[in-house]
């Protein structure tokens, strides 16, 4: 019998504000312990929170990007529990009146068996603002834990999905899509190593069509790989448990990435009773239509819209459009390059997804740090389009630009990479090749047409890649067979 896996995600995105959500302390990552924990973050007696406009604005941006309702009035509540990394003994969060209401995100999931992909709508329940907690450091204190409160008070947007995903792969694609989106609209730096994006996965299994099963929540996953592994392990564990006649009980679990398994938390937070109530230190947050419109104007074209436009207007394949919209930097680079060689979308796409991506990968750089500017790349492509250089020569120019920089036209000139289209010059060159390679000529003429490639190689080499390939091949063929 088959099982259906049901997954909902809670994604915590650290918002890219300079200061904290309720204090004027810096949110910069990596500072020495507790040097960015101010009186408010430390919950000294008597301190009070004041809300950061930048955090609210980022939440609005996100709401607009996922077509969600933006609450004209939302409320901050206190979530009460004791934990040493939570200085006030409560977390300021939002409970029954979150800033962002229902929205949706379309994900594109590749089929494993075919080349095709299917689209799926993942509904967002809500997104709300809250403060991050500090960090507990366990090493080296003889049975003690050290608390660093630099992170305490960093603004978080918690994005909650409906249980709409049916596989670990769907969950990961949804998570990646959010990762792209939050960076795209500039509300989160998306730095996974620094914990800027963290996931809680609610996993349950059921027979298709049956009621939802009891869910277990896997807490605090900080990479796509762990997300995938944890869900896969957890779902299989639940299936095994049920098939063995056992029961799954609602629980909070942690993922042990070393053992690659989930386990129930040891510290049973006895019967979670968070005693939410509206924070009396903060007033309701009002967002008027004007503000929403002002923020809307600052939003860039969103990845899905761009992707659709690339397919419809630029005639690119869905695959190309997907790849080019995988990050805003990539899309920006593509569009800037395209503006240098208008109408050559496919050529730009091929180069970006080919040589540019390969070179970036080789050097482990991201697009934002591409050493070649769109003007330089466009300059090379322009010369391919107008026939000045061959594709082969263009690669040569690209390599030089990558390592040394410079102006494409100057490089073409200096290296003598202009295509030779003069028939006389080409014929003389090919005559010499034929004369020098009698044995291979004989082979070719005896019917071994594979040897043709050998002659093409020699001709390209002799012309330093500057021979017009089509013309050169035509002459080669003619000369080789003429003398048959």
- Residue with smaller CB distance to another protein, 141 or 450: 141
Phi, psi angles (nearest 5°) of residue 309? -65, -40
d(CA 436, CA 363): 41
- Residue with smaller CB distance to another protein, 96 or 364: 96
Q: DSSP 3-state assignment of 31?
A: coil
Instruction: Decide: 121 and 164 in contact? Cβ < 8 Å.
Output: yes
- Residue with smaller CB distance to another protein, 63 or 379: 63
Number of other CB atoms surrounding residue 220 within 10 Å: 14
Binding site for another protein (CB under 8 A): 17-19, 23-26, 32-39, 42-56, 73, 78, 80, 82-84, 87-90, 136-138, 141, 143-149, 254, 265-267, 270, 273, 275-278, 280-286
* Least spacing, CB of residue 188 vs another protein, in Å: 14
d(CA 94, CA 104): 20
Question: Nearest CA to 11 among 152, 170, 131, 179?
Answer: 179
Tokens coding 128: 């709300």
- Residue with smaller CB distance to another protein, 222 or 400: 222
* Least spacing, CB of residue 386 vs another protein, in Å: 49
- Residue with smaller CB distance to another protein, 41 or 396: 41
Burial 87-115 (b: 16+ CB within 10 A, else e): bbebbbbbbebbbbbebebebebeeeeee
Instruction: Decide: 4 and 208 in contact? Cβ < 8 Å.
Output: yes
Q: How far is CA 428 from CA 77, 423, 439, in A?
A: 85, 9, 19
- Residue with smaller CB distance to another protein, 50 or 442: 50
| Length of the chain as a residue count | 484
* Least spacing, CB of residue 297 vs another protein, in Å: 19
Question: Nearest CA to 261 among 319, 216, 326?
Answer: 216
* Least spacing, CB of residue 298 vs another protein, in Å: 14
- Cβ contacts of 188 within 8 Å, gap of 6 or more: 13, 14, 15, 16, 58, 157, 182, 196, 197
- Residue with smaller CB distance to another protein, 90 or 455: 90
Q: DSSP 3-state assignment of 179?
A: helix
d(CA 41, CA 51): 13
* Least spacing, CB of residue 189 vs another protein, in Å: 15
* Least spacing, CB of residue 271 vs another protein, in Å: 8
* Least spacing, CB of residue 150 vs another protein, in Å: 10
Question: Nearest CA to 284 among 45, 96, 17, 89?
Answer: 96
State the angle between helix axes of 438-445 and 469-482 in degrees (0 to 180), rounded to the nearest 10.
80
* Least spacing, CB of residue 123 vs another protein, in Å: 27
- Residue with smaller CB distance to another protein, 109 or 147: 147
- Residue with smaller CB distance to another protein, 24 or 354: 24
CA angle, 435 then 439 then 440, to 5°: 85
Phi, psi angles (nearest 5°) of residue 288? -95, 165
- Residue with smaller CB distance to another protein, 21 or 380: 21
- Residue with smaller CB distance to another protein, 219 or 418: 219
d(CA 238, CA 220): 19
Biggest distance spanned by C-alpha atoms of the chain:
100
Tokens coding 160: 């909650």
* Least spacing, CB of residue 59 vs another protein, in Å: 12
- Residue with smaller CB distance to another protein, 134 or 465: 134
* Least spacing, CB of residue 89 vs another protein, in Å: 2
**Residues paired with 251 in a beta bridge:** 216
* Least spacing, CB of residue 158 vs another protein, in Å: 19
């Amino acid at each position: 019998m088959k099982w259906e896996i049901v997954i909902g995600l809670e994604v915590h995105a650290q918002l890219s504000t300079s200061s904290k959500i309720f204090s004027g302390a810096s949110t910069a990552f990596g500072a020495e312990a507790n040097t960015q924990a101010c009186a408010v973050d430390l919950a000294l007696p008597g301190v009070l929170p004041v809300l950061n406009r930048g955090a609210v604005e980022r939440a609005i941006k996100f709401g607009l990007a996922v077509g969600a309702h933006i609450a004209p009035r939302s409320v901050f509540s206190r979530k009460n529990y004791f934990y040493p990394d939570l200085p006030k003994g409560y977390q300021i969060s939002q409970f029954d009146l979150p800033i962002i209401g229902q929205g949706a995100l379309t994900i594109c999931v590749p089929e494993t068996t075919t080349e095709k992909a299917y689209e799926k709508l993942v509904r967002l329940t809500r997104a709300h603002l809250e403060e991050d907690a500090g960090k507990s450091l366990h090493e080296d204190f003889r049975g003690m834990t050290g608390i660093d409160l630099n992170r305490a008070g960093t603004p978080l947007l918690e994005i909650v999905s409906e249980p709409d995903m049916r596989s670990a792969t769907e969950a990961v694609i949804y998570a990646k899509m959010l990762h792209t989106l939050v960076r795209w609209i500039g509300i989160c730096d998306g730095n996974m190593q620094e914990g800027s994006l963290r996931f809680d996965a609610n996993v349950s299994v059921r027979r298709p069509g049956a009621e939802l099963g009891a869910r277990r929540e896997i807490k605090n996953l900080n990479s796509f790989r762990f997300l995938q592994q944890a869900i896969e392990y957890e779902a299989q564990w639940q299936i095994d448990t049920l098939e063995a006649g056992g029961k799954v009980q609602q629980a909070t679990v942690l993922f042990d990435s070393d053992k690659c398994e989930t386990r129930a938390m040891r510290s049973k937070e006895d019967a979670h009773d968070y005693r939410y109530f509206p924070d009396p230190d903060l007033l309701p947050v009002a967002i008027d239509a004007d503000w929403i419109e002002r923020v809307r104007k600052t939003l860039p074209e969103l990845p899905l819209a761009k992707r659709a436009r690339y397919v419809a207007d630029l005639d690119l394949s869905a695959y190309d459009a997907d790849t080019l919209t995988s990050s805003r930097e990539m899309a920006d680079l593509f569009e800037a390059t395209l503006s240098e060689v208008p109408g050559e979308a496919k050529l730009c796409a091929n180069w970006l997804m080919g040589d540019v991506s390969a070179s970036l990968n080789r050097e482990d750089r991201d697009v934002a740090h591409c050493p070649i500017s769109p003007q330089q790349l466009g300059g090379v492509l322009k010369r391919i389009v107008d026939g000045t250089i061959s594709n082969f020569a263009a690669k040569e120019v690209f390599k030089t630009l990558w390592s040394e920089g410079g102006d494409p036209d100057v490089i073409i000139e200096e290296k003598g990479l202009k295509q030779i289209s003069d028939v006389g010059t080409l014929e003389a060159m090919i005559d010499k090749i034929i004369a020098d390679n009698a044995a291979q000529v004989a082979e070719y003429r005896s019917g071994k047409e594979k040897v043709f490639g050998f002659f093409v190689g020699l001709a390209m080499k002799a012309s330093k890649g500057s021979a017009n390939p089509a013309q050169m091949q035509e002459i080669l063929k003619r000369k080789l067979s003429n003398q048959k």
